[in-house]
Structure 1
Amino acid sequence: MTEAAQIESIEESARRAPALIRYLGDGNYVTRRYVSQGAEMNTGEYFDYACDVRDGMPMRDHFTLDVHGFVLGRHRSTIVDFHDKPAVDAAYLGEVEELVTKLCGATRTAAQGWMIRTSADLSARAREKVEGYQHSGGIQPPAGEAHVDYNEITGRRAAARIYADRFPDGPGYKRYICFSLWRTFSPGPQDWPLAVCDGRTVTDEETASNTLFVVDEFPVGDALTAPVAGEDQMIAATIFRHRERHRWWYFSNMQADDVLLFKFQDSDHSVTWRCPHTAFHDTSLPDTKIRESIEVRCIAYVE
């Protein structure tokens, strides 16, 4: 049996959880993502597709960043309460930088913003009016559709800007990788875990850019999709349309010391360079519990 056949055999043996994965429809849409306090919404039409999500936990050491676009590691944080914002700002971002540098073999890493997500009811929080809301360090619902947080222009600009800001005396970099480091801190198994898609199974053919608008209140009616000058140069994510070839994975019953690192964008396209992801409702396990998780965006540099 060839090495490729062995890998396929291993992956085909995984337990599968039934899921509904939300994708952008095949129509021609103005695609935007609006975020506000405790709430998010997308324009365009999205549809739920029945998919299998394979459980990678029993084979956790099988996955690698440059093959699959994600890897599951282990890390014990010094943070006692991830809702303690000053503690997260003061200590956790440094932990993430050290850990990501080690996991991906980079020269150095710069952590960016972080976000807590929960499957608990946030409807009261969403009604709060917060002037000047910033999309960082807050609490949001789980991600609702298959996406990557950056499109290529967004990742490339973020890498250049952050390197110049954080490492002004650095020699420059020959490769950058935009990541998310994700962990749950609530007891497992989680009711809405994170699913990650094998980056080898996606192509540009099914993608669209989704421009980010951070707002105090959501616009309504035609204002949701009215033309905005320079929108093609604004911060945007990549969203996906459904294709049968997409291969989804998750890691069931993650514990607080489990960390999932996955790519938003790798400047080296000779390897797997991005990893779509989304939350899904896991009905395959009994006694699931409300999910609370923290994610940190970061950029690793190879100098």
Structure 2
Amino acid sequence: MNSADVQTTLTYVREPTSELAIYNYRPGPDDPDLSGQYEEPDYLEYPVEIKDIRGHEQRFSLEDAGLQVISHVSAIDDYYDDKKVRGIYMPEMEALVKRVTGALRVHAFDYNVRCQAYSEQKVHMARMPVRFVHNDYTDTSGPQRVRDLMGDESEALLKTRFAVINVWKPIVGPVQRTPLAVCDARSLEPGDLIDTSLLYRDRIGQIQLASHRPGHRWYYLSNMRADEALLLKCFDSARDGRARFTAHTAFDFVDTPADASDRQSIEVRTLAFF
């Protein structure tokens, strides 16, 4: 066992008896009653080992494992400035994903910044780290994202291979609190990922939650720096044996240094067309 390998617990979902849904709003008296249509997730913690891939990054690729480590130094000087993120950083991510994957076209369409302290203080539009095992897209919501974003081109683009690839990067490093753990896509089996509706007042989205299985292989990159990034494949339309979905989650070290700063990270979602 590597000295930086981690014994911890991860949060999975209990096997549901009906369709799962997560409410992203508080239903009011005028909202439709969906309680009989959906089951809310029941989460359970399981002990896992998360192996450190530091020094072994080349063993993992998007096509095989669904994750890949890359180096990137950005020209942006403020990740909390929306105009700079959209004008500088997101175009950088389009070029990066295109270079790494060989995609003919890449469209960066969304981003999140995460920091627990900033989220609690309600500043910088920061969100909390997500502490349950999930994947961002499904066989339904992946193609729907293309239809939502690409307009009149969408049906033609859907006839080609496409993927949703996220680029996750620390804003400051090293990351010593709530790092990101990623499940090797090769260790997932059919049925491990459960399609789950995201209920908003005006629309319904869909992600995947994960049920626990001892064969899942978990990895992270220790002391991740601001010039390093993780590529995650959250959807691939190809069904030829390559990675299609990549489960991931934030996790807690048992022995996080008392003076460790809250993790600050940015994640950009891209559509890659081949």
Name the TM-score, length of structure 1 as normaliser: 0.77
Match of 2:161 among 158, 170, 175: 175
Matched, 1:139 2:121: no
Unmatched 5+ residue regions in structure 2? 26-38
Matched, 1:46 2:43: yes
1:20 and 1:120 mapped to 2: Cα distance? 22
| 1:213-253 deviation digits (Å, cap 9, x = unpaired) | 3469xxxxxxxxxxxxxx9xx42001110000100111111
In structure 2, the CA distance between the partners of 1:240 and 1:55, relative to structure 1 (3 Å rule), is same
Matched, 1:102 2:89: no
1:99 and 1:121 mapped to 2: Cα distance? 28
Matched, 1:56 2:56: no
Matched, 1:264 2:234: yes
SS in 1 for 2:122: helix
1:25 and 1:163 mapped to 2: Cα distance? 36
In structure 2, the CA distance between the partners of 1:121 and 1:256, relative to structure 1 (3 Å rule), is closer
1:300 and 1:122 mapped to 2: Cα distance? 30
2:139 and 2:148 mapped to 1: Cα distance? 14
Matched, 1:281 2:249: no
2:215 and 2:271 mapped to 1: Cα distance? 29
Is the Cα–Cα contact under 8 Å of residues 170 and 265 in structure 2 kept in the other structure?
yes
1:110 and 1:140 mapped to 2: Cα distance? 23
Whichever residue aligns with residue 252 of structure 1, its letter is: S
Residues 26-45 of structure 1: pairs in structure 2 closer than 5 A: 26-35=15-24, 43-45=40-42
Residues 221-300 of structure 1: pairs in structure 2 closer than 5 A: 234-269=204-239, 270-283=241-254, 286=257, 288-300=260-272
Number of equivalent positions: 259
Whichever residue aligns with residue 157 of structure 1, its letter is: Q
Structure 1 ranges of 4+ moved more than 6 A: none
TM-superposed deviation, 1:274: 1.1
Is the Cα–Cα contact under 8 Å of residues 183 and 260 in structure 1 kept in the other structure?
yes
Unmatched 5+ residue regions in structure 1? 1-11, 37-41, 127-136, 217-230
Q: Aligned residue for 1:228?
A: none
